[in-house]
A = this chain, B = another copy of it.
Amino acid sequence: MDLLVATNKEDTVGYGDDHYTKEVTELIKQQCNNDNIDVYLFVGGTPANIAFLKQALRPHQGVLCASFGHINCHEAGAIEATGHKVLPLKCGQEGKITADQVEAAWLDHYTDGNQMHMVQPAGVYISQTTETGAIYSKKELMDLSQECKKRELFLYLDGARLGYALSSKDNDVSLEDLAHLTDGFYIGGTKCGALIGEAMVLVNDKYKKDFFYIVKQDGALLAKGRLAALQFKGLLTNNVYTKICGKANEYGQQIATTLKANGFTMFADSPTNQQFVVFDNKRLKEFEKKYNFAFWANKDENNTIIRICTSWSTKKEDVKELLKDISESK
Contact = CB atoms under 8 A, between A and B. Distances in A.
Given A76-B117, A85-B86, 13 more contacts: A9-B9, A43-B43, A44-B223, A49-B219, A54-B59, A55-B59, A62-B77, A76-B213, A77-B84, A77-B85, A113-B295, A117-B216, A195-B227
A196 interface: yes
Interface string A211-237: 011101111111110010000000000
B44 A227 contact: no
Contacts of A76: 60, 116-119, 213, 216-217
6 contacts: A75-B219, A76-B116, A82-B83, A114-B295, A116-B216, A196-B222
Given A216-B116, A220-B219, A5 B1 contact: no
Q: In the assembly, how many copies of this chain are there?
A: 4
A195 B226 CA distance: 9
A20 B112 CA distance: 25
Contacts of A263: none
Given A11-B195, A84-B77, A60 B219 contact: no
Interface residues of A, number: 64
Contacts of A50: 219
Interface in A103-159: 112-114, 116-120
A221 B114 contact: no
Given A83-B83, A210-B120, A295-B113, A78 B196 contact: no
A45 to B, nearest CB: 8
Nearest to A59: B54
Contacts of A96: none
A112 B305 CA distance: 12
Nearest to A295: B113
A314 to B, nearest CB: 11
Nearest to A210: B60
